[in-house]
């Protein structure tokens, strides 16, 4: 088990992932399906702002926790020497990317017309920070970093649709819009999800190098848990796409309730997947 | 659902081997039994690191924080003076920062007979 600072770092990172990916995802949905999510526009913007604010807080808290990991006690969180040391390393660089990116995303949400594109740029800057530091960037290949960014944008798109689709499904007067949004997302997902999985598997192979490491190492086992959970999400997503959305298109309002419930379960599993990822990137060492 | 999530989270945490301690070797070696308290201890790391905290724990005494004021740069080899506390088992716990920004920690112990 990691120590208290390791566990706190995992939770700070989980919050950071949820905030950055969630807010960027909402912005992607606003930019991709502006007309379909029009009834929820203000709500989506407000949520994106809250999530981005949360991720700024989590990024700063995570940075301070790294200070505590250096001294082994809470004093390290505010120790100018420790924080100054961290600031000189790539950890300081990514903190700047994350805060600046999320601040741009928030600002964009208050700018009319083109604001969502400003926000999208901000979200991408923050997502790029994850390609600047960690196990994947350690491979030192620009192609792999771009692959990680693509993977993250795909995940953001997926996570971004969950809230609006659920909320729209709960509004009986917008059943048609919810069905169309689900259908359009399903069409996009048919392309994005295979790319997402391929990119994930390729990065896993580059990091592990050997399938046996999947069972024999802590890193491999955590990755395996993540993969099994992703498999469960895919089954739920397939049920949504093949069963509930077509039923909603046929005017079945009960199917909309099922879809909303299915999305809630999907969100809970995604949170555990993000927690597994936070563990992989915070406290696990690569097998080699 | 909550139970499933909690179970999965605990499993994820339980599989964590704590990370990033690429210490190559130490003097005295981990687990060594020696006859006299060494005047100093040393660490050799595989990569550059900045030591941020080193504690010495002896079975009969409260833990002592070793002075790192002279250690102000990233390096691979560190030698620290050690204040002897007689016979018994000494445990050295260390923490540091890798130049890539990774926090690292580890420990080693030796016995003076």
As averages over each run of 10 residues, the pLDDT of chain A (288 residues) reads 80 95 97 93 97 98 92 92 92 96 98 94 97 78 88 94 95 92 93 90 85 83 89 91 92 92 94 90 67
As a whole number of angstroms, the longest Cα–Cα distance in chain B is 58
Q: Could you read off the pLDDT of B66-80 as tens digits, one per residue?
A: 988 888 888 999 999
**What SS3 string covers A111-142?**
CCCCHHHHHHHHHHHHHHHCCCCCHHHHCCCH
- Rounded to the nearest integer, the mean pLDDT of chain B is 81
Which residue among A221, A265, A285 sits closest to B15, beta carbon to beta carbon?
A: A221
- Peptide bond before B28: cis, by omega within 30 degrees of 0? yes
Rg of chain B taking only CA atoms, in angstroms: 17
Query: How far is the alpha carbon of A63 from chain B, nearest alpha carbon, in Å?
Result: 11
Backbone φ and ψ for A34, nearest 5 degrees, come out as -60, -40
What is the number of residues in chain A?
A: 288
Of the residues A15, A79, A89, the best mutation for testing chain B's interface (the one with the most B CB atoms within 10 Å of its CB) is A89
Q: What is the pLDDT of residue A56?
A: 98
Is the Cβ pair A138, B1 closer than 8 Å?
no
Backbone φ and ψ for A17, nearest 5 degrees, come out as -60, -50
Query: Tokens 């790192």 appear where?
Result: B68
Of the residues B56, B71, B103, the best mutation for testing chain A's interface (the one with the most A CB atoms within 10 Å of its CB) is B103
Is the Cβ pair A10, B13 closer than 8 Å?
yes
**Close Cβ partners of A283 (under 8 Å, ≥ 6 residues apart):** A2, A6, A9, A10, B16, B18, B19
CA A15 to CA B49: how far, in whole Å? Answer: 29
Query: How far is the alpha carbon of B35 from chain A, nearest alpha carbon, in Å?
Result: 31
Q: What is the pLDDT of residue B14?
A: 46
Q: What is the pLDDT of residue A228?
A: 92
Is the Cβ pair B8, A138 closer than 8 Å?
no
Q: Which two tokens stand for residue A224?
A: 């395996």
Given a cut of 80, whether residue B13 has pLDDT beyond it is: no
Q: Which two tokens stand for residue A165?
A: 């689709």
Q: What is the pLDDT of residue B6?
A: 56
Query: How far is the alpha carbon of B22 from chain A, nearest alpha carbon, in Å?
Result: 10
Nearest CA in chain A to B74: A85
Q: What is the pLDDT of residue A208?
A: 84
Cα dist from A97 to A102, A103, A133, A157, A188, whole Å: 8, 10, 11, 20, 29
Is the Cβ pair B14, A1 closer than 8 Å?
yes
Q: What is the pLDDT of residue B15?
A: 40
Cβ-Cβ contacts under 8 Å, A218 against chain B = 15-17
Instruction: Quote the percentage of chain B above a pLDDT of 90.
Output: 42
Q: What is the pLDDT of residue B7?
A: 52
Interface size A-B, in CB pairs within 8 Å, comes to 93
Cβ-Cβ contacts under 8 Å, B10 against chain A = none
Q: What is the pLDDT of residue B10?
A: 53
Cβ-Cβ contacts under 8 Å, B64 against chain A = none
Of A147, A158, A145, A139, nearest in space to A230 by CA: A158
**The whole model's pTM is what?**
0.85
Q: Which two tokens stand for residue A110?
A: 């208050």
Is the Cβ pair B17, A85 closer than 8 Å?
no
Nearest CA in chain B to A281: B19
Cβ-Cβ contacts under 8 Å, A265 against chain B = 1
Q: Which two tokens stand for residue A192?
A: 């994005």
Cβ-Cβ contacts under 8 Å, B97 against chain A = 70, 85-86, 89
CA B70 to CA A45: how far, in whole Å? Answer: 52
- Contact with chain B for residue A72, Cβ under 8 A: yes
**Close Cβ partners of B4 (under 8 Å, ≥ 6 residues apart):** none
Given a cut of 50, whether residue B24 has pLDDT beyond it is: yes
Q: Could you read off the pLDDT of A35-56 as tens digits, one per residue?
A: 999 999 999 999 999 999 999 9
Beta strands of B1-102 (E only): which ranges? 23-27, 32-34, 40-58, 61-65, 75-81, 88-98
CA A265 to CA A253: how far, in whole Å? Answer: 19
**Close Cβ partners of A194 (under 8 Å, ≥ 6 residues apart):** none
């Amino acid at each position: 088990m990691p120590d208290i600072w390791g566990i706190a770092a995992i939770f700070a990172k989980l919050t950071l992932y949820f905030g950055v990916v969630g807010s960027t995802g909402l912005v992607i949905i606003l930019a991709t399906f502006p007309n379909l999510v029009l009834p929820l526009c203000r709500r989506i913007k407000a949520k994106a702002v809250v999530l981005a604010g949360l991720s700024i807080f989590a990024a700063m808290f995570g940075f301070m926790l790294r200070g505590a990991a250096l001294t082994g006690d809470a004093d390290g969180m505010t120790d100018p020497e420790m924080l100054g040391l961290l600031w000189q390393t790539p950890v300081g660089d990514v903190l700047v990317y994350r805060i600046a990116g999320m601040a741009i995303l928030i600002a964009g949400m208050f700018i009319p017309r083109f604001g969502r594109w400003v926000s999208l740029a901000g979200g991408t800057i923050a997502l790029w920070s994850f390609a600047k530091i960690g196990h994947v960037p350690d491979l030192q290949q620009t192609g792999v970093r771009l692959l990680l960014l693509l993977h993250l944008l795909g995940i953001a798109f997926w996570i971004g649709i969950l809230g609006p689709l659920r909320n729209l499904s709960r509004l009986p007067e917008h059943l048609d819009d919810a069905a169309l949004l689900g259908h359009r997302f399903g069409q996009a997902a048919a392309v994005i999800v295979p790319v997402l999985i391929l990119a994930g598997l390729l990065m896993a192979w580059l990091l592990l190098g050997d399938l046996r490491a999947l069972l024999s190492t802590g890193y491999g086992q955590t990755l395996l848990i993540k993969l099994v959970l992703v498999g469960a999400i895919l089954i739920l997503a397939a049920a949504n796409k093949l069963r509930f959305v077509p039923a909603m298109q046929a005017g079945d309002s009960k199917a909309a309730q099922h879809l909303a419930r299915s999305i809630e379960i999907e969100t809970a599993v995604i949170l555990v997947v993000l927690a597994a990822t936070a563990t992989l990137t915070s406290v696990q060492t690569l097998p080699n | 659902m909550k139970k499933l999530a909690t179970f999965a989270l605990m499993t994820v945490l339980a599989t964590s081997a704590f990370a990033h301690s690429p210490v190559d070797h130490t003097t005295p070696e981990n687990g060594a039994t020696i006859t006299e308290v060494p005047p100093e201890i040393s660490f050799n790391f595989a990569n550059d690191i900045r030591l941020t905290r080193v504690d010495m724990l002896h079975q009969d005494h409260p833990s002592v924080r070793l002075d790192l004021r002279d250690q102000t740069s990233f390096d691979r080899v560190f030698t620290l003076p050690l204040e002897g506390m007689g016979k018994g088992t000494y445990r050295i716990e260390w923490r540091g920062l890798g130049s890539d920004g990774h926090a690292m920690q580890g420990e080693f112990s030796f016995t003076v007979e």
